[in-house]
Each structure stands twice: as C-alpha cells, then as structure tokens.
C-alpha cells in the first residue's frame, strides 16, 4: 500500500477476480467505503489506484476478498501510518 501514489498492490491466484474494499477515514468520526473489483493477470498480481476517488491516507483499512469455488478468503491490513 502506497499512500503517496494512492495505490494498493497485491498478488493472489492468476486470472482471478478480487474485490478490494477500502474504508477511508475522512476524520475520526466519518469514514467512507470504496469497493473495487479487479482481475489478476497471468502472474496473479493486481493493482488499484484510488487517486481519482480519494486520497489514500494512513490507517485507511483495506480488505481484499477472493472467492474460490464458494470459499471466501480475506486479507485485511491498515495503510501505513503512525
């Protein structure tokens, strides 16, 4: 996750559809959710650019969801911050 470039990159199965759910913090009380759907390439990598929607900032929550034959896999992390 790169909060300067407003990008989120990852890797999973090749040629799979992944959903990336981002909870963006506008303040301590207000958050806004954004959902992106991406298809991975032959190398399994995906990349999301949020810059046209919002400024990715520290402690935004990112959840990547993968549906594999009815089983859901999830990875959650926070955008780097201090």
Query: What sign does the CA torsion over 51, 53, 54, 60 have?
Result: negative
Nearer to other proteins, 20 or 79 (CB): 79
Site residues (CB under 8 A) for other proteins, limited to 31-50: none
Which range of residues in 12-20, 37-45, 46-54, 70-78 is near other proteins by CB under 8 A?
A: 70-78
Nearest-10 Cα torsion for 4, 50, 16, 33 = 120
Query: Per CB under 8 A, does 66 bind other proteins?
Result: no
Which residues of this protein are in contact with other proteins, per CB under 8 A?
1-4, 25-29, 57-60, 76-82
């Amino acid at each position: 996750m790169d909060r300067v470039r407003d990008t989120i990159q990852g890797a999973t199965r090749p040629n799979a559809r992944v959903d990336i759910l981002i909870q963006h913090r506008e303040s301590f009380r207000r958050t806004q959710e954004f959902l992106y759907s991406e298809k991975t390439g032959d190398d399994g990598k995906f990349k999301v650019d949020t810059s046209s929607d919002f400024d990715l900032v520290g402690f935004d929550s990112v959840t990547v969801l993968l549906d594999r034959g009815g089983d859901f896999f999830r990875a959650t992390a926070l955008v780097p911050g201090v």
